[in-house]
Amino acid sequence: MMLEGWAAPDFGALFVVSGASGTGKTTLLQAALERVPGLEFSVSATTRAPRAGEQDGVDYHFVSPDQYREMVRRNELLEHAEVYGTMYGTPRAPVFAALAEGRSIVLDIDVQGAGQVREVYPEAVTIFVLPPRLEVIRERLQARGKDGPEVVERRIRDATEQLARCGEYDYLVMNDVLDTAHAQLQGIFLAELSRRSRRSSWVRALTGGAGA
């Protein structure tokens, strides 16, 4: 359920959320998108083929390797990376257009992409979702039953590398008790969108322009 009476900020926020597979990041983000008004996912570009039920422009922008390389050459991507042989990237123009309209964008990307975004847009708000213990990631990945032992071990190694850089982020959310983690993440979103710097119109309206 969306919050009632919520007004969009004058200028949207760019949120970067990272966290290894098995931390519950996707569950937390889906709930936040349903709860926090004006918050939306960026649609990434990828060179992989669409999966069953996926729509171009909705789930991903599906592009050819040549198209992707041209986007990189033209500096049209806010960040980009190769993941297990497939290229992913965030188109720059739609993100900045959304921010200017007061909409806020969430990027669900890894630490490499987050570092690229910081360089281009230092105002980005970065959030890292942590597991209570590294063993929890192994337990959750095994419980999914989607991957074989080799893939699980690879994801564990990746998780360890990702966690080593969690200290670079503005906020940390520990996903131990799910309800608490939901409150933490949504609280971060709402607090950042309530900053005075994003609410100058309120200041002008209520003070006659003083302090805006």
Question: Looking at the domain assignment, is residue 200 inside a domain?
Answer: no
Residue in 189, 195, 196, 161 with CA at minimum distance from that of residue 39? 189
- Angstrom distances, CA of residue 33 to CA of 36, 38, 40, 109, 192: 6, 8, 6, 16, 15
Range of the structural domain that residue 152 is part of:
14-194
CATH of the domain at 137: 3.40.50.300
Specify the 3-state DSSP secondary structure of 59.
coil
Question: Looking at the domain assignment, is residue 202 inside a domain?
Answer: no
- pLDDT above 70 for 145: no
| Number of domains the chain contains | 1
Question: Looking at the domain assignment, is residue 208 inside a domain?
Answer: no
pLDDT mean over 59-63: 94
Question: Looking at the domain assignment, is residue 96 inside a domain?
Answer: yes
Question: Looking at the domain assignment, is residue 212 inside a domain?
Answer: no
Q: Are 93 and 2 in contact (CB under 8 A)?
A: no
Question: Looking at the domain assignment, is residue 171 inside a domain?
Answer: yes
* pLDDT tens digits for range 94-137: 999 999 999 999 999 999 999 999 999 999 999 999 998 888 87
Question: Looking at the domain assignment, is residue 5 inside a domain?
Answer: no
